């Protein structure tokens, strides 16, 4: 947490020192400008007098030039229509406007006046000098003086400076405080959530997650935490399941051994009893002996099932074409269920899994047989292959009645069966095989209204795909 503390301290320093420096700079600028102000009453009178004088000078000059032009004391410049392309822009503008006369300021800085008038189809121009007086310069000086006067009249220096300084300082400090509170909350709140999530995860709550909507380091840490929690939960579930299977395998070995030791003497004794009994009620004895033999054979089949469940076959992962493998299993089992409709939706990318072929065949056979029993006569079975999130997937859907919530919770438990005459070991053996080959079997939402199982397998790398499938 030292880094967080140092970061908050740095933010606080930035939020205080920078506004302080800005406030000092603005205050200094305001003081400097306020000291440069002087009384502007006289400047106001002078500017107004300058404006009046300039207007009177311009008007008198215009009247004098017009009188001289009418009296013939000034010779005009004549602009004939034949050379209109050579006319100056002001003359063209006057001609196009349709006015009969116009006065213009000409020369450098507006120190001359031109009088334009129409004479038939020609435009005549008379000009005169203002005696070195620049009207443009007078206009600029007047505008500058008026700006100073208006600024001065619009404020009281002392009160305006005080109000401005207080308002500016308060605004800067309030904005800095809001920014500091926001940044501190933005930094500390996600870390608090992450810390709480870690505490819950350490306490054993593997389902805890934290909401990660940030794109910075904290957001990446929260997403890494969620990913770690997901992996830990999956690993824990698999470990618990494999531990349960190990206990059941031990029990299965012991049970198979004990029952097998008793089966052989029972069969031999019954057969010898029938042989020695003679002809007395031979038919009854044979019937009774046959019943005992059949029950013994049933027990032997159960023992073989337990032996298969308890066995640990060697796992030989090879690249498997899931499309071809699913098609082969469906074709193999389809003849035994002509009353069912089989559909396949295969990934065009031909997903390749790295898994043990015998184990995967056994898994698909078990799932397809279970789907056939659940769908019943006239039912449908759908097989799907896909690749998602770095895993190769095979799904088996059926149109049966589906599974209740109670069944879902104990679906993969050994010795729990929901089929007539079932041992309760098929799904357990299938999931154990999937786990041994690096995958898993999960229950998903069915597309046909019934149950649906997804086999998750590791995807074969490019190097592994160079080897052919086994079998």
- Complete DSSP assignment for 95-111: HHHT-SEEEEEESTTS-
- For residue 211, tell me if it sits in a domain: no
pLDDT of residue 386: 95
Per-residue pLDDT tens over the stretch 79-95: 888 888 888 888 888 88
pLDDT of residue 256: 64
According to DSSP, the β-strands at 380-388 and 440-443 are unpaired
pLDDT of residue 99: 85
pLDDT of residue 319: 94
Last residue of a domain, one of 152, 173, 197: 152
More confident residue, 342 or 270: 342
Per-residue pLDDT tens over the stretch 299-320: 666 666 666 655 666 788 999 9
Instruction: Identify whether residues 301 and 322 lie together within a single domain.
Output: no
- Residue 470 binned pLDDT confidence (cut-offs 50, 70, 90): very low
- For residue 205, tell me if it sits in a domain: no
Q: Beta strands of 250-408 (E only): which ranges? A: 317-321, 341-345, 352-356, 380-388, 391-398
Instruction: Identify whether residues 85 and 117 lie together within a single domain.
Output: yes
d(CA 366, CA 155): 93
Last residue of a domain, one of 294, 310, 326: 310
Instruction: Identify whether residues 345 and 431 lie together within a single domain.
Output: yes
The H or E element that residue 382 is part of is strand 380-388
pLDDT of residue 59: 83
- Residue 384 binned pLDDT confidence (cut-offs 50, 70, 90): very high
Instruction: Identify whether residues 23 and 160 lie together within a single domain.
Output: yes
Are 252 and 428 in contact by the 8 Å Cβ rule? The answer is: no
Q: Is pLDDT of 413 > 50?
A: yes
Instruction: Identify whether residues 11 and 98 lie together within a single domain.
Output: no
Phi, psi of 114 (to 5 degrees): -115, 140
**Residue 362 token pair:** 């056994």
Q: Beta strands of 49-148 (E only): which ranges? A: 77-79, 101-106, 112-119, 122-129
The whole domain housing 353 covers 317-466
d(CA 135, CA 121): 32
pLDDT of residue 56: 79
Virtual torsion, Cα 386, 388, 402, 343, nearest 10 deg: -10
Per-residue pLDDT tens over the stretch 191-229: 777 787 788 877 777 778 877 776 767 777 777 878 888
Residue 397: closest CA among 410, 412, 411, 385: 385
Q: Is pLDDT of 253 > 80?
A: no
Instruction: Identify whether residues 388 and 405 lie together within a single domain.
Output: yes
Instruction: Identify whether residues 422 and 323 lie together within a single domain.
Output: yes
- For residue 13, tell me if it sits in a domain: yes
pLDDT of residue 354: 94
Last residue of a domain, one of 125, 152, 179: 152
- For residue 49, tell me if it sits in a domain: yes
Q: Which of 298-302, 377-381, 430-434 is least confident?
A: 298-302
- For residue 20, tell me if it sits in a domain: yes
- For residue 351, tell me if it sits in a domain: yes
Instruction: Identify whether residues 445 and 339 lie together within a single domain.
Output: yes
Per the structure, the count of domains in the chain is: 4
Instruction: Identify whether residues 22 and 46 lie together within a single domain.
Output: no
d(CA 71, CA 51): 30
Instruction: Identify whether residues 179 and 80 lie together within a single domain.
Output: no
pLDDT of residue 279: 54
- For residue 454, tell me if it sits in a domain: yes
Virtual torsion, Cα 64, 66, 70, 75, nearest 10 deg: 90
According to DSSP, the β-strands at 380-388 and 341-345 are parallel
Instruction: Identify whether residues 29 and 173 lie together within a single domain.
Output: yes
- Report CA torsion sign: 23, 25, 26, 27: positive
Task: Please enumerate in sequence order all residues whose Cβ is within 8 A of that of 171, keeping only pairs 6 or more positions apart, or say none.
Answer: none
**Residue 30 token pair:** 């305001």
- For residue 160, tell me if it sits in a domain: yes
Q: What is the CATH number of the domain that holds 362?
A: 3.30.565.10
pLDDT of residue 332: 84
Instruction: Identify whether residues 30 and 67 lie together within a single domain.
Output: no
Q: How far is CA 75 from CA 68, 99, 124, 170, 285, in A?
A: 9, 21, 9, 70, 159
- Residue 154 binned pLDDT confidence (cut-offs 50, 70, 90): low
d(CA 45, CA 36): 20
């Amino acid at each position: 947490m030292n880094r967080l503390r140092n970061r908050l301290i740095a933010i606080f320093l930035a939020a205080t020192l920078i506004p302080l420096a800005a406030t000092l700079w603005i205050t200094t600028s305001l003081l400097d400008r306020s000291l440069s102000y002087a009384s502007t009453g006289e400047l106001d009178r002078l500017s107004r007098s300058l404006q009046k004088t300039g207007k009177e000078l311009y008007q008198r000059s215009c009247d004098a030039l017009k009188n001289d032009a009418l009296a013939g004391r000034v010779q005009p410049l004549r602009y004939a229509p034949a050379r209109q392309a050579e006319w100056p822009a002001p003359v063209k503008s006057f001609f196009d406007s349709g006015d009969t006369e116009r006065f213009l300021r000409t020369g450098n800085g507006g120190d001359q006046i031109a009088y334009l008038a129409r004479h038939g189809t020609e435009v005549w121009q008379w000009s005169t000098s203002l005696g070195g007086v620049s009207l443009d310069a007078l206009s600029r000086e007047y505008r500058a003086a008026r700006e100073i006067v208006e600024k001065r009249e619009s404020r009281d220096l002392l009160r305006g400076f005080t109000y401005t300084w207080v308002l500016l300082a308060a605004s800067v400090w309030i904005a800095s405080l809001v920014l500091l509170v926001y940044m501190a909350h933005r930094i500390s709140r996600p870390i608090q959530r992450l810390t709480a999530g870690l505490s819950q995860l350490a306490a054993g709550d593997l389902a805890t997650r934290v909401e990660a909507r940030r794109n910075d380091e904290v957001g990446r840490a929260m997403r890494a935490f969620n990913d770690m929690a997901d992996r830990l939960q999956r690993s824990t579930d698999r470990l618990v399941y494999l531990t349960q299977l190990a206990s059941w395998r031990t029990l299965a070995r012991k049970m198979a051994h004990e029952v097998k030791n008793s089966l052989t003497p029972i069969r031999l004794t019954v057969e010898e009893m029938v042989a020695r009994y003679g002809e007395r009620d031979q038919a009854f004895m044979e019937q009774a002996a046959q019943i005992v033999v059949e029950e013994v054979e049933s027990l032997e089949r159960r023992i073989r099932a337990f032996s298969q469940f308890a066995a640990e076959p060697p796992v030989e992962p090879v690249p498997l074409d899931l499309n071809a493998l699913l098609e082969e299993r469906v074709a193999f089992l389809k003849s035994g269920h002509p009353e069912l409709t089989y559909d396949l939706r295969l990934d065009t990318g031909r997903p390749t899994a790295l898994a043990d072929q015998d184990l995967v065949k056994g898994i698909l056979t078990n799932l397809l047989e279970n789907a056939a029993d659940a769908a019943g006569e006239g039912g449908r079975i759908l097989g799907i292959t896909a690749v998602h999130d770095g895993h190769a997937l095979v799904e088996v859907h059926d149109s049966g009645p589906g599974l209740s919530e109670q069944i879902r919770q104990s679906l993969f438990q050994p010795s729990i069966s929901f089929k007539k005459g079932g041992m309760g070991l098929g799904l357990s053996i299938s999931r154990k095989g999937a786990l041994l080959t690096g995958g898993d079997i999960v229950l998903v939402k069915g597309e046909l209204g019934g149950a649906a199982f997804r086999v998750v397998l590791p995807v074969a790398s490019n190097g592994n795909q160079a080897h052919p499938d086994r079998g």
